[in-house]
Amino acid sequence: MEWTIEDQKNWNNLKKWEESLYEYEKNDFERIYETVIQQVIERVPEHIKKEIFSKMDTWMFYLHSYIQGSQYQQDAKARIIQAAKIFDSSVENIEDLQRLPIHQLQYIRDQQVSRLRLYSLVQGSVTGTGDVLALLSDVPAMMIINLRAIQLTAMCYGVNPQSPFDMSASLQVFHAGTLSKRHCGSAWKELVEEAEKVDHPYLYDGPEVIADETWFEKPIKQIIKSYGIFLFRHQQVSGAPLLSMMIGATSNYQFTRNVTDFAKHYYEFRYLLQKKKALLPDSVPKP
């Protein structure tokens, strides 16, 4: 194993992307929007906010564990290992994927995630029909699809999402990937700092708080999407509410694309950081 030109190129691209997060500047609309959101949040009593965040964290950890233990995810894990064997027949488990060069891991990841992006598109189209049951199931379905996508991305880069650190990290990646651009920089910085400090993911005992006030925008955006679907669901073409279906499909696809792109950058960082620690220890900042 060696630090290759390809690794350095990907590291440089990652740093450029990171800088774009830190240098993002809010426009006038976002400033007004942020002010309104903050005023709404301030009206919610502190004890209610804490209760909401606590229940969300608990529910997300349960959901993560359920997905990770599902037969679907076990089958996906087997497919990832089988795909890796095409490049290296000695691969036997997820951790062995760390021996593969990054372009091979990127290929495996793209094959896995593209399927889930399609699921998200279909889910959005079904929600866009305006059916009440479809609208009610949209949020849980999207959480499942995107948490699955993050877990698959982790495995594609040789990370076991069942370890205490990576269970927490995958939920934090989900949280960060759903945030608006003006909040992504600070969320990314926290993830990077935690990753740089942890050497043994199974001995992690750090914070497990995921939900916070930045997530209050999500229900508002969901309400706006649902309102748009209800508004246009009766405007049908050939008996189908195409406009509202496009709203649902576009919204859900973009959501999943944002989450999966953020996850890709994070787990590529983890892969390259681990390689740097092993091969170029002097280039890695000490925690």
Other C-beta atoms within 10 Å of 3: how many?
15
The predicted-structure confidence for 208-255, as pLDDT tens digits, reads as follows: 667 777 777 777 777 778 888 888 777 777 777 888 889 899 999 999
- Give me the mean pLDDT over the 143-154 stretch: 95
Whole-number pLDDT of residue 282: 61
Residue 177 CB contacts under 8 Å (≥ 6 apart), including other chains? 146, 150, 258, 259, 260, 261, 262, 263
Whose CA is closest to 160, among 83, 110, 82, 97? 97
The predicted-structure confidence for 159-218, as pLDDT tens digits, reads as follows: 999 888 898 899 999 999 998 888 899 999 999 998 988 777 666 666 566 777 777 777
Domain that holds residue 78: 9-283
Q: Give the count of domains, the chain.
A: 1
The distance from CA 66 to its chain's CA centroid, rounded to whole angstroms, is 17
Residue 269 lies in a domain: yes
Contact 162, 275 (CB under 8 A): no
Give me 231's structure tokens.
């508004």
The predicted-structure confidence for 65-87, as pLDDT tens digits, reads as follows: 899 889 999 999 999 999 999 99
CA angle 9/15/19 to nearest 5° reads: 145
Helical segments of the chain, H only: 5-22, 28-42, 46-69, 71-87, 102-127, 132-156, 164-178, 181-197, 217-232, 242-279
Rounded Cα gap, residues 232 and 239, in angstroms:
13
Other C-beta atoms within 10 Å of 246: how many?
15
Residue 4 lies in a domain: no
Q: What is the mean pLDDT of the chain?
A: 87
Residue 235 lies in a domain: yes
Rounded Cα gap, residues 250 and 178, in angstroms:
15
User: In this model, does residue 286 exceed pLDDT 60?
Assistant: no
Residue 172 lies in a domain: yes
Rounded Cα gap, residues 190 and 188, in angstroms:
5
The predicted-structure confidence for 118-129, as pLDDT tens digits, reads as follows: 999 999 999 988
Residue 2 lies in a domain: no
Whole-number pLDDT of residue 222: 76
Residue 1 lies in a domain: no
Q: Which residues are bridge partners to 240 per DSSP?
A: 237
284 falls in which pLDDT band (50, 70, 90)?
low
Residue 35 lies in a domain: yes
Rounded Cα gap, residues 227 and 46, in angstroms:
28
Rounded Cα gap, residues 272 and 287, in angstroms:
17
Quote the percentage of the chain above a pLDDT of 70: 93
Q: DSSP 3-state assignment of 240?
A: strand
283 falls in which pLDDT band (50, 70, 90)?
low
Please report, as a single letter, which amino acid is at residue 48.
I
Q: Which residues are bridge partners to 237 per DSSP?
A: 240
How far is CA 210 from each of CA 53, 56, 168, 172, 186, rounded to the nearest angstrom? 8, 8, 8, 6, 14
- Give me the mean pLDDT over the 142-151 stretch: 94
Please report, as a single letter, which amino acid is at residue 177.
G
Residue 163 lies in a domain: yes
